[in-house]
Amino acid sequence: EGVTYTEVRRPGRVMIFVNPQSGRGQALQLFTGHVQGMLTEAAVPYKLFITEHQNHAREVVRRADLSRWDALVIMSGDGLLFEVINGLMEREDWQRAIQTPVGILPGGSGNALAASVHHYSQSPPAWNEELLLSCGFMLCKGLVGTLDLVSIHLSSRQRLFSFLSVAWGFVADVDIESEKYRHVGAIRFLMGTLVRLASLKIYQGRLAYLPAKEKPKLPKGTTKTGHSPSTPQRPSLCSSLPCQLNPDSSTNLISHHNHNSPNSNHNTITNTTGEITTKRSEGGGKTVTPVDSLLPDLDQPVPESWTVVQEEDFVLVLAIYQSHLAEDLWTVPGASADDGLIHLFYVTAGISRPALLRLFLAMEKGAHLSCDCPHLVYEKVKALRLEPVTPHGVITVDGEMVEYGPVQAQIHPGLARLICG
């Protein structure tokens, strides 16, 4: 939409990371059976990298000579792309590195981004091998668009970058509990949902967010909400990032992307510690990743421009920035990879089991918002904070379990680039 493809050229050299354990353990066979021939026919040069353990791809990406690759692609579930994105952002040259186009070939049991990218291409829904073929075809075409990333702060001050979701409560529990049904493939989420429904829980916590549209200013004299005159909104750095980082932010071809990095030899293995090196404080020779201009420190109260949710008893909180949460869960009708929005959903306590099941069943067709469920709330936001009160639980980022505790997030529009269309 609104995109002009100026020139058609073959995509260049592609590094493809395969997680042989993902999904039903058949990612490599799926690659050889369905994608390899396609790439050969389209004369796309690629190199396969089979991961041997968790964070293997992340470590490789962190120290790779990116001038050798025109795209980094994963054949796995969303978890492996999460590693690649964070590996790129942990580099000293992250600003250049994160412009390396990334791509996804669904080989896992959680293929939310693949389903989303397929959906953005305006194709009718596809599953399994059909979805894989669609994504393989996109890789051959090599068109690249921009991808929003979300910066995540955890209470240990660790910072992560996310392309898909932050979840707490029902969705996060299902995601993690259903890992034991991985051998059944994508249907694991449905099985997990049914199991979790049987023992539906309430999760206590505080939720606040910065609405994407500013709250209407109240007339003078009213004091309830709105911006306090004494705390004018800071100018958002993130809104200027896409132009800074992506001089050509329109869709183009990966072959146009050329790493001619004068700094590329600044990255040495000795710099990689396995820990996220980013600090909010600048200087000190540490890698400085994008400033989260919308987020105060986690131990500071949220700004007055934020909305604080009154309810504190939830069944789920889900922040998502792609259309699909899974192949058969069309969670955000109207979302795109670079709409600059976090789509925040929450379900408050009191919802009945049948009503919650209805929501998830309706989500297959993206119809859950038409269920008129009074417990389901949907807001478009730029930043959010979640502070669980329930002492133990699960929080996931892009389907991967992270440290449990207070978490906050803000969008960075168009920070990365994605093979799509």
Q: Considering the complex, state which of residue 10 and residue 56 has its C-beta at the smaller distance from ligand ADP.
A: 56
**Contact region for Mg ion (CB under 5 A) — 132-140, 260-268, 301-309, 391-399?**
391-399
Options 87, 101, 103, 108; binder of ligand ADP; rule CB under 6 A: 108
Tell me how far, at minimum, the Cβ of 100 lies from ligand ADP, in Å: 19
Options 12, 136, 192, 399; binder of Mg ion; rule CB under 5 A: 399
**Contact region for ligand ADP (CB under 6 A) — 63-71, 73-81, 84-92, 402-410?**
73-81
Active-site residue, 78 included: yes
Q: By Cβ distance, which residue is nearest to ligand ADP?
A: 77
What is the DSSP track for 344-369? EEEEETT--HHHHHHHHHHHTTT-GG
Catalytic residue among 78, 148, 292, 339: 78
CA distance 103 to 12: 13
**Is 185 an interacting residue with respect to Mg ion (CB under 5 A)?**
no
CB 120 within 8 A of CB 323: yes
CA distance 125 to 105: 16
Q: Helix, strand or coil for residue 153?
A: strand
CB 402 within 8 A of CB 160: yes
CA distance 310 to 305: 15
Tell me how far, at minimum, the Cβ of 83 lies from ligand ADP, in Å: 5
Output DSSP code: residue 303.
Answer: P
Output DSSP code: residue 65.
Answer: -
**Is 413 an interacting residue with respect to ligand ADP (CB under 6 A)?**
no
**Is 101 an interacting residue with respect to ligand ADP (CB under 6 A)?**
no
Query: Left, alpha or beta for 412 (phi > 0: left; psi -120 to 50: alpha)?
Result: beta
User: Which pairing describes strands 71-76 and 102-106: parallel, antiparallel, or unpaired?
Assistant: parallel
Options 11, 12, 23, 77; binder of Mg ion; rule CB under 5 A: 77
Tell me the site size for Mg ion, rule CB under 5 A. 4
CB 103 within 8 A of CB 15: no
**Is 136 an interacting residue with respect to ligand ADP (CB under 6 A)?**
no
Tell me how far, at minimum, the Cβ of 81 lies from ligand ADP, in Å: 7
Residues with catalytic roles: 78
Residues binding ligand ADP (CB under 6 A): 19-23, 51-54, 56, 76-80, 83, 108-110, 182, 399-400
